[in-house]
Amino acid sequence: MAKKGMSRRDFMKGAAAGTLGVATMGVLGACSQDSTTAEEMSWDRETGVLIVGGGGTGVAAAAQAALDGAEVLVLEKAGLAGGTTNYSGGVMQAAGTKAQKDFTDYADDTPENHFQLWLKAGEGLVDEELVKDLAYGAPGHIEWLTEQGLNFTSVYGHTDIPYVDDALFADRIHVYEGGGGHGGGTPLVQALLNTATENGATIEYNTEATRLVVNKDGKVEGVVAVQDGAEVSIKATKGVILAAAGIDNNAEMAKELAPQQYWSITTGVPSCAETDTGDGIRMAMEIGAAV
């Protein structure tokens, strides 16, 4: 774990909260009306940590939870893991890493410089606390990914921004073996998937979570999913992680939440998984998550 900034667990919680925070009720559309509570549910199965979505976030969560010794089950709607992460460029930014020291002339770079760059580039429109957590947490994430088998082979440059002090810039874009181009996210997904499964996690494909099940106090206790054409209810004794918030292929949600992605969808050029339809956002909103 990184010593500074937030942990991977805290980051995932914050990212989910941030995503839901910008949602509007209009994206709910035709929502599930089943209100069966956990107390009324006759569970078909039980696991420890239940993760909805096996994309980049889901496999990372599965890897860490499995390393922590939890019983882990991942439900993935598609027939393979990775989601839109598979389409990514396979690079990530961080300051103060061993790779940066090895491959660049910026041996004295710091997360604080990285944070200040992002803050000033954001022109006052960013969440300062979140940006700081991202910058300070990034070196630890690079280290953790290295431990999971990724081999970082280069670190490259930046593009100057006229209104940002040149002293804040550095080469921070880390490239791992197999990354650096379209589709470069696949090695990352496979490394994390290997860590997860080698430590006991199970991932079930072609399984679509349809709703969250809460108890009378509003706490999520499990999920209802569709598998092989039949509904199955799964209880999670240690918690449910929603890792299915991508809206890259949902025109209705994108129109309200991400106009740029809406443009991509409607012009026919989105680079994303077909299964990225915002299921996590929808299910969370159905149980009254903050919007």
pLDDT at residue 130, rounded to an integer: 97
Q: How far apart are CA 238 and CA 48, in angstroms?
A: 5
Q: Are residues 216 and 278 in the same domain?
A: yes
Domain tally, the chain: 2
pLDDT at residue 291, rounded to an integer: 57
pLDDT at residue 169, rounded to an integer: 96
Q: How far apart are CA 264 and CA 226, in angstroms?
A: 29
**C-beta separation of 132 from 115 below 8 A:** yes
Q: Which of 145, 177, 209 is the last residue of a domain?
A: 177
Whether 195 maps to a domain, the answer reads: no
Q: Are residues 139 and 278 in the same domain?
A: no
- Residue the block writes with tokens 């680079």: 271
Angle between helices 56-67 and 186-198 (to 10 degrees): 30
Whether 193 maps to a domain, the answer reads: no
Q: How far is CA 27 from the centre of its chain?
A: 20
**What is the phi-psi region of residue 31: left when phi exceeds 0, alpha when psi lies from -120 to 50, beta otherwise?**
beta
- Residue the block writes with tokens 């961080």: 94
Whether 224 maps to a domain, the answer reads: yes
Distances in Å between the Cα of 64 and the Cα atoms of 150, 201, 279 are 15, 10, 23
Reduced to 3 states, what is the DSSP secondary structure of residue 253?
A: helix
Q: Are residues 206 and 223 in the same domain?
A: yes
Q: Are residues 104 and 166 in the same domain?
A: yes
Whether 64 maps to a domain, the answer reads: yes
- CATH code: domain of residue 28: 3.50.50.60
Whether 183 maps to a domain, the answer reads: no
Whether 270 maps to a domain, the answer reads: yes
User: How confident is the prediction along the chain (291 residues), in pLDDT tens digits per residue?
Assistant: 333 444 544 544 444 444 444 444 455 544 555 778 989 999 999 999 999 999 999 999 999 999 999 999 999 999 999 999 999 999 999 999 999 999 999 999 999 999 999 999 999 899 999 999 999 999 999 999 999 999 999 999 988 899 999 999 999 999 999 999 888 999 999 999 999 999 999 999 999 999 999 999 999 999 999 999 999 999 999 999 999 989 999 999 999 988 989 999 999 878 899 999 999 999 999 999 875
Domain region containing 135: 91-177
Q: Are residues 130 and 147 in the same domain?
A: yes
Whether 162 maps to a domain, the answer reads: yes
Q: Are residues 237 and 210 in the same domain?
A: yes
- Look up the pTM and report it: 0.85
End-to-end CA gap in the chain: 30
Q: Are residues 101 and 170 in the same domain?
A: yes
Distances in Å between the Cα of 25 and the Cα atoms of 178, 249, 275, 284, 290 are 41, 19, 22, 12, 10
